[in-house]
Structure 1
Amino acid sequence: MHYVALLTIVDADLNAKVRPAHLDYLDKLYKENKVVMAGPFADKKGGMVIYRADSAEEAQKLAEADPVVAEGARTLELREWNPLQFPLA
């Protein structure tokens, strides 16, 4: 299952401080096949992570353990996502 984490910056200074740990965390999860894709929004107000997890509980734990969330630099909105499979029937 896929889950989308919308991460809105609420403390820019703290976000800048914690961002290297955030990127290391995402890289680790990507190598573990738990992150599908991630990146910042063009408006620089936050970013998005697409997690691959076996349950909503697992996705919640992964997202909450992200240093930018755990340290309070960003808010977290986590939603289950059902990507379309192409070609469409």
Structure 2
Amino acid sequence: MWIVELAFNDEPERLAARAAHRQRLSALQSEGVVRMAGPFADDSGAMIVFDVADQPGLEQLMADDPYFTTPGVRVHQVRQWRPFLR
């Protein structure tokens, strides 16, 4: 699994792109690719947990979603995660 942490600022493009991004994440959750996702309580960013085998697969998912390059959205950190409880 992979954890993607996003950082946000107040660019209006971010809010305009958010609905389509959330629809995409919901579809990926239905496929078992996204395990959980959501903004931090202070809306300074968000975290998404992807269940994909490798980094190239993750990078392709992110490239297919324009939200990750929308003004106001910055990919702060990407980390591989190996949970022992599911």
Residue correspondences, number: 85
Return 5+ residue gaps in structure 1 as ranges. none
Aligned to 1:23: 22
Aligned to 2:74: 75
The 8 Å contact of residues 36 and 51 in structure 1, kept in 2 or not, is answered as yes
Aligned to 1:84: 84
TM-score norm. by structure 2 comes to: 0.85
TM-score norm. by structure 1 comes to: 0.83
Deviations 1:27-79 (A, max 9, x none): 11111110000011011111010000021110121123333213343111221
SS state at 1:39 partner: strand
Aligned to 2:33: 34
- Distance in 2 (alpha carbons) for counterparts of 1:62 and 1:11: 24
| Runs of 4+ more than 3 Å apart | none
Deviations 1:3-32 (A, max 9, x none): 001011145311110000110110111111
The 8 Å contact of residues 11 and 71 in structure 2, kept in 1 or not, is answered as no
- The one-letter amino acid paired with 1:80 is Q
The 8 Å contact of residues 39 and 49 in structure 1, kept in 2 or not, is answered as yes
Query: Identity over the aligned pairs, expressed in percent?
Result: 28
- Distance in 2 (alpha carbons) for counterparts of 1:30 and 1:59: 14
Aligned to 1:55: 54
